[in-house]
Amino acid sequence: MRMAWIGGVAACALALAACATDTVPAGPPPSGTLAEQTVTASATVEKIDQKTRQVTLRRADGSTVSFKAGPEVRNLAQVKKGDEVVVAYHESLAYEVRRAGEATPGAELAEAAARAEPGQRPGAMGAQQLTVTSTIEAIDRRAGTVTLKRADGETFTTKVRDPSKLELVRVGDLVTLTYTEAIAVSVEPKAK
């Protein structure tokens, strides 16, 4: 489901970024961030049972959520009632048009994760970045569309959001789309 969604996002983002002409571009290839957001939420430790590792958090709206902290959660003994658990989620979608020969069509997924070392405050982070590169095969200036070819040979046509970008790219250029998402969890001591 997630890969289908990312594929859909990739197609839409390429539509926003990709455009081409058969003439020499009037300037450097376009690039930029199409969308970016960070969401932060926090909750207060309401109850914690160190033996069973059961934790209950109270959200800002007063509702509670309970869960069992798995063995991968280090330093749970440091967590006390009243501590604040902070979760931050970030995602962004960026594009870059490259000239023929500067990139290779394809897709690549990179992932990273880390957790607190023994003795540190509990916390963890995880991130993944999907990079997809497609070749600009054709354009239709009148319709404001561009046809892109994926590494597997499949093509699709999509509408360009900013027609002024048509002056900056040409058939044969490559569009690289990068979708990044990251999450971080930290535990802060109870405010005094």
Average pLDDT over residues 42-57: 97
Residue whose tokens read 């200036």: 141
Q: Are 54 and 66 in contact (CB under 8 A)?
A: yes
Residues 30, 130: Cα–Cα separation, whole Å? 20
Tell whether the torsion through CA atoms of 24, 27, 28 and 30 is positive or negative.
negative
Model pTM score: 0.76
Question: Confidence class of residue 25 from pLDDT cuts 50, 70 and 90?
Answer: low
Domain ranges of the chain: 2-41+86-188
Nearest to 177 by CA among 110, 102, 92: 92
pLDDT at 5: 40
Average pLDDT, the chain: 87
Q: pLDDT tens digits, residue range 73-93?
A: 999 999 999 999 999 999 999
Q: pLDDT tens digits, residue range 117-172?
A: 999 989 999 999 999 999 999 988 788 888 999 999 999 998 888 888 877 889 99
Q: pLDDT tens digits, residue range 137-148?
A: 998 878 888 899
Residue partners of 53: CB distance under 8 A and separation at least 6:
68, 69, 70, 73, 76
Q: Is 43 helix (H, G, I), strand (E, B) or coil?
A: strand
Residue 185 has pLDDT above 80, yes or no: yes
